Amino acid sequence: MRTLLVIGIGAGNPDYLTVQAINAMNRAEVFFMPDKGLEKSGLNAIRLGMLDRFVTNKRYRLVDFAIPSRRQADTPGYRDAVQEWRDKLEAAYRAMFAELGEDGVGAFLVWGDPTLYDGTLRILKDMQAAGWDLAIEVIPGISAPQALAAQHQVTLNRVGEAVTITTGRRVGEGEADALSSAVVMLDNHQVFQRFAPTEAEIFWGAYLGTPDEILVAGPVKDVMAEIDAKRSEAQARHGWIMDTYMIRKPE
Ligand SMILES: C[S@@+](CC[C@H](N)C(=O)[O-])C[C@H]1O[C@@H](n2cnc3c(N)ncnc32)[C@H](O)[C@@H]1O
């Protein structure tokens, strides 16, 4: 049976790799590398650096893969588009798994942790449920919210409170307005600006864990212009950006 290792590699710093992740990387014959895009090539450079540094047997192969993009849920013909997308996805994965022998071991080096805002594990579990003969192993990694909290030296939860990790789109729709704190990922529109009229503080980080890391913290109303300027400058320089932040209301 083919084995697929879904390895969390941490959100930026190669030192975030766990011993379990390094051991798993040393078992893989093939690494499936996400293809395309400036962001992907930047992240793949970090992945390649990890393979170079931590894999002692250099007999592995790299196989590029591209995940077909999926139409938004609110666009016309969405159901047909999802079926079309699933068919394309299955064809892509079939081609990838053909790269592995019957008992081969392949690995996905998933950014951060594989269980947080990443589709790899869901797709593999769907394929397993659909009858594909696959063994799956998941290795946890240090996620962007953990890296953010460590770099700013803050806890994600207030005493006895829940932790909310959510998306920029949902916060833009007002989801976090009534919460005392929230960690926000996948925000391309700086929706934290909606908290400018409040006393909320922001702990913001871009390219966390990498040599390009940028950190800004303070009341939203005081630092939002600084974040905007640093974000635009960095995005123009790199061609892509990944940032995460926590919004916290005063106690
Ligand atoms: C598709 S999600 C993947 C999250 C990843 N699985 C994790 O555990 O962190 C991508 C989002 O994670 C956040 N992110 C990931 N790495 C980051 C980093 N090094 N610095 C800042 N934000 C990061 C950004 O919000 C980005 O839009």
40 contact partners, CB below 8 Å, separation of at least 6: 34
CATH 3.40.1010.10 fits 2-139, yes or no: yes
Task: Judge whether 92 and 124 are in contact, CB under 8 Å.
Answer: no
- Which atom of ligand 1 approaches the CA of 210 most closely? 19
149 lines ligand 1 (CB under 6 A): no
Q: Whose CA is nearest to atom 27 of ligand 1?
A: 186
Q: What is the C-alpha separation between 85 and 176, in angstroms, rounded?
A: 32
State residue 80's pLDDT score: 78
pLDDT of 183 higher than 70: yes
Give the tokens for residue 156.
């994600």
| pLDDT: which is higher, 192 or 94 | 192
Evaluate: CB of 242 within 6 angstroms of ligand 1: yes
**Whose CA is closest to atom 3 on ligand 1?**
117
Going from the C-alpha of 246 to that of each of 148, 153, 181, the distances in angstroms are 8, 12, 7
- Which residue has a Cα nearest atom 15 of ligand 1? 144
Q: Which atom of ligand 1 is nearest to the CA of 141?
A: 8
Q: What pLDDT is attached to residue 86?
A: 75
Give the distance (Å) from ligand 1 centre to CA of residue 116: 9
208 lines ligand 1 (CB under 6 A): yes
Q: 144-248 architecture in CATH?
A: 2-Layer Sandwich (3.30)
Q: Give the residue whose CA is nearest to atom 19 of ligand 1.
A: 208
Amino acid identity for residue 191 in this structure: V
User: Rounded to the nearest whole angstrom, what is the distance from the C-alpha of residue 246 to the centroid of ligand 1?
Assistant: 13
Q: Show me where the domains of the chain are located.
A: 2-139, 144-248
pLDDT in tens, 199-243: 999 999 999 999 999 999 999 999 999 999 999 999 999 988 999
Nearest CA to ligand 1 atom 11: 186
What is the distance between the alpha carbons of residues 201 and 211, in angstroms, rounded to a whole number? 25
Collapsed DSSP state (helix, strand, coil) of residue 181: strand
Task: Give me the helices (H) in 98-167, please.
Answer: 120-129, 144-152
- CA–centroid distance, 56 to ligand 1, in Å, is 28
Question: pTM for this structure?
Answer: 0.92
**Ligand 1 within 6 A of CB of 12:** yes
Range 92-101 contact pairs with CB under 8 angstroms and sequence separation of 24 or more: 92/65, 92/66, 92/67, 92/68, 93/123, 93/127, 96/32, 96/63, 96/65, 97/2, 97/134, 99/30, 99/61, 99/63, 100/2, 100/29, 100/30, 101/2, 101/29
Question: Model confidence over 68-114: pLDDT tens digits?
Answer: 776 666 667 777 777 787 788 778 888 888 889 889 999 999 999 99
